[in-house]
């Protein structure tokens, strides 16, 4: 595979966007091809599908299975769901059936989705692609409320941010370092969240609403799955974590409206509010990769958008994510982990006793000092991102991409975006004309999500 723009510190990188494009070219030139469709269904019967031509079973079968394993996984993590239905290939169906079964290579995904949607995970085969080429969606208008005195809280994996917002203007913001992923006692999380909200409340005459941006999956403001509580036991999670944001809000004041949203959706919402338009994909590069999407009507879609678990690199030697056990997924390409994994290739030694956030600061200091090898880290992440945007555009109608988060702070963020733009210009010129890349100013990059989060709930 010959790339027009290479990641200087990762020459084995095999972007999904290019692998898929080359496969489609070969299928188009093949004497025989078949129609393939996958449908992913989630709560309340909402569903979406992806359809394409593939080579017939028995013809380069391993190549087809490898590709569709990755593509179906992307559909699952972008949309969310507990049911996969495929049509057009028995070989692909049998592979997926085994992969998502207990003990299979994708059992983490199946178990995660079962937890979120509280239903058994199933893989089924349909008679024909037309039967499952169905889309049922229900986007909702959440956010963009600026009236009154509001608290906006952004729960990151390395720091928590809070803003006091009065009639759309931030009157106070703070960042506090914390370590939620290493704490098994949920009281640590509870007290940290409560302290942040009390601090914000102290800077306003009253609190009319509370908005929360947090990594994870939320249904009716309840925490279904979240990496922030990775070390919390199952019993404590059920008793003390699921309703934590609701319980904290009650301590701030009775009957204060609260809205909890995935931090990726809040990133996209922040972009849509700033740009005053929709079709915005927001990507926050921090402890993990958080993604969200606001549609053409500036509504949140209800999709899962957990692109941290969606593959962007088809290379089977790519770094494996410790949590999911899978390779080549976004979490290792658009997060602090990406910087840390590339540092050795750049000749930058990082003390293992440092936290991930502290390791990132070491690299950022090297950037400030003008180390050209440190710059290659951000150039590599930019290359990753440019090719990933092209892949994501298969699943989202993207007009604008907004990046935020700790990794984008300083000169590295601008360099990252510059390299991503080069990839689009050289490899995907049509997409480059349609899709515009954005990075907010430095303050917004760090605390913009907490301010946008404050706009989530309606008052009254």
Q: Is residue 15 situated within a structural domain?
A: no
Segment 217-221 long-range contacts (CB within 8 Å, at least 24 positions apart): 217/80, 217/116, 217/262, 217/304, 217/306, 218/260, 218/261, 218/262, 219/43, 219/116, 221/245, 221/246, 221/258, 221/259, 221/260
Q: Is residue 57 situated within a structural domain?
A: yes
- 17-36 pLDDT, tens per residue? 999 999 999 999 999 999 99
Residues 118 and 186 in one domain: no
Average pLDDT value for the chain: 93
Instruction: Indicate the pLDDT class of residue 15, thresholds 50, 70 and 90.
Output: very high
pLDDT at 143: 75
Which of helix, strand or coil describes residue 75? helix
- 258-280 pLDDT, tens per residue? 999 888 888 788 888 888 889 99
- Which of these three, 255, 277, 303, is where a domain ends? 255
Instruction: Indicate the pLDDT class of residue 140, thresholds 50, 70 and 90.
Output: low
- Which of these three, 255, 279, 296, is where a domain ends? 255
**Residue given tokens 């070969």 in the structure block:** 26
- Rounded Cα distance between 109 and 115, Å, is 10
In this predicted structure, the answer to whether residue 442 has a pLDDT above a threshold of 70 is no
Number of independent structural domains in the chain: 3
Residues 311 and 443 in one domain: yes
Q: What is the DSSP letter of 118?
A: T
Residues 184 and 72 in one domain: no
The percent of residues above 70 in pLDDT, for the chain, comes to 97
Residues 174 and 123 in one domain: no
Instruction: Indicate the pLDDT class of residue 343, thresholds 50, 70 and 90.
Output: very high
- Rounded Cα distance between 16 and 28, Å, is 18
pLDDT at 444: 52
In this predicted structure, the answer to whether residue 446 has a pLDDT above a threshold of 70 is no
- Which of these three, 255, 275, 290, is where a domain ends? 255
Residues 117 and 165 in one domain: no
Q: Is residue 144 situated within a structural domain?
A: no
CATH, residue 397: 3.30.420.40
Q: What is the DSSP letter of 458?
A: P
pLDDT at 55: 98
The pLDDT of 151-168, averaged and rounded, is: 91
Residues 362 and 446 in one domain: yes
Which of helix, strand or coil describes residue 147? coil
**Residue given tokens 């085969």 in the structure block:** 125
The pLDDT of 290-310, averaged and rounded, is: 90
pLDDT at 449: 67
pLDDT at 141: 65
Across 86-97, b (16+ Cβ under 10 Å) vs e yields: bbbbeebbebbb
SS3 content of the chain, % helix, strand, coil (to 5): 45, 20, 35
Q: Is residue 459 situated within a structural domain?
A: no
Q: Is residue 5 situated within a structural domain?
A: no
CATH, residue 106: 3.40.140
Residues 251 and 269 in one domain: no
Task: For 316, list phi and psi in degrees, rounded to 5.
Answer: -75, -10
The torsion angle over the Cα atoms of residues 195, 200, 202 and 206, rounded to 10 degrees, is -120
**Burial class of residue 136 in the structure, from the number of CB atoms within 10 Å of its CB (0-12 exposed, 13-18 middle, 19+ buried):** exposed
- Rounded Cα distance between 190 and 237, Å, is 12
pLDDT at 256: 96
Instruction: Indicate the pLDDT class of residue 112, thresholds 50, 70 and 90.
Output: very high
Lowest mean pLDDT across 46-60, 220-234, 358-372: 220-234
pLDDT at 214: 87
Task: Supply the angle between the helices 186-201 and 244-252 in degrees, to the nearest 10.
Answer: 40
Residue 213 structural domain: 149-255
pLDDT at 263: 80
Q: Is residue 345 situated within a structural domain?
A: yes
- Rounded Cα distance between 422 and 389, Å, is 12
Residues 323 and 180 in one domain: no
Residues 45 and 119 in one domain: yes
Q: Is residue 61 situated within a structural domain?
A: yes
- 51-66 pLDDT, tens per residue? 999 999 999 999 999 9
Give the global pTM: 0.87
In this predicted structure, the answer to whether residue 339 has a pLDDT above a threshold of 80 is yes
In this predicted structure, the answer to whether residue 99 has a pLDDT above a threshold of 60 is yes
- Rounded Cα distance between 164 and 198, Å, is 10
The torsion angle over the Cα atoms of residues 313, 315, 316 and 317, rounded to 10 degrees, is -110
Q: Is residue 23 situated within a structural domain?
A: no
Residues 299 and 435 in one domain: yes
Q: Which residues contact 289 (CB under 8 A, 6 or more apart)?
A: 283, 307, 308, 330, 331, 333, 334, 335
Residues 183 and 245 in one domain: yes
In this predicted structure, the answer to whether residue 86 has a pLDDT above a threshold of 70 is yes
Residues 380 and 315 in one domain: yes
- Rounded Cα distance between 40 and 132, Å, is 9
């Amino acid at each position: 595979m010959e790339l027009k723009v290479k990641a200087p510190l990762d020459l084995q990188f095999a972007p999904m966007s290019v692998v898929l494009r080359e496969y489609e070219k070969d299928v188009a030139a093949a004497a025989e091809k078949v129609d393939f469709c996958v449908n992913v269904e989630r709560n309340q019967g909402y569903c979406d599908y992806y359809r394409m031509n593939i080579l017939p079973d028995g013809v380069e079968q391993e190549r087809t299975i490898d590709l569709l394993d990755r593509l179906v996984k992307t559909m699952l993590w972008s949309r969310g769901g507990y049911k996969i239905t495929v049509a057009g290939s028995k070989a692909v169906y049998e592979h997926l059936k085994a992969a998502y079964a207990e003990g299979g290579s994708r059992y983490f995904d199946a178990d995660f989705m079962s937890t979120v949607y509280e239903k058994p995970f199933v893989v089924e085969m349909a008679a024909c692609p037309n039967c499952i080429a169905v889309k049922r969606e229900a986007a909702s208008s959440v956010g963009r409320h600026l009236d009154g005195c509001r608290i906006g809280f952004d729960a990151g994996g390395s720091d928590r941010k809070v803003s006091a917002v009065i009639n759309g203007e931030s009157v106070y913001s703070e960042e506090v370092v914390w370590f939620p992923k290493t704490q098994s006692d949920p009281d640590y999380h509870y007290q940290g969240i409560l302290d942040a909200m009390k601090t914000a409340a102290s800077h306003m005459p009253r609190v009319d609403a509370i908005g929360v941006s947090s990594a994870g999956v939320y249904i009716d403001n309840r925490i279904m799955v979240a990496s922030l509580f990775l070390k919390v036991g199952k019993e404590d999670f059920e008793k003390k974590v699921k309703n934590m944001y609701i319980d904290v809000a009650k301590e701030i004041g009775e009957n204060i409206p609260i809205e909890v949203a995935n931090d990726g959706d809040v990133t996209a919402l922040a972009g849509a509010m700033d740009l005053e338009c929709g079709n915005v994909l927001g990507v926050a590069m921090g402890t993990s990769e958080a993604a969200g999407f606001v549609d053409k009507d500036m509504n949140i879609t209800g999709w899962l958008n957990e692109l941290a678990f969606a593959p962007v690199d088809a290379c089977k030697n790519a770094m494996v994510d410790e949590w999911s056990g899978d390779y080549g997924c976004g979490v290792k390409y658009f997060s602090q982990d990406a910087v840390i994994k590339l540092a050795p290739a750049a000749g930058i030694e990082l003390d293992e006793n440092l936290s991930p956030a502290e390791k990132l600061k070491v690299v950022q200091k090297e950037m400030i000092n003008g180390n050209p090898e440190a710059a290659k880290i951000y150039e590599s992440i930019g290359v990753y991102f440019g090719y990933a945007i092209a892949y994501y555009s298969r699943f989202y109608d993207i007009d604008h991409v907004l990046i935020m988060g700790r990794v984008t702070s300083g000169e590295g963020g601008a360099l990252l975006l510059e390299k991503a733009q080069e990839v689009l210009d050289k490899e995907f010129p049509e997409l480059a004309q349609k899709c515009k890349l954005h990075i907010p100013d430095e303050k917004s990059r760090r605390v913009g999500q907490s301010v946008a989060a404050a706009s989530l709930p309606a008052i009254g």
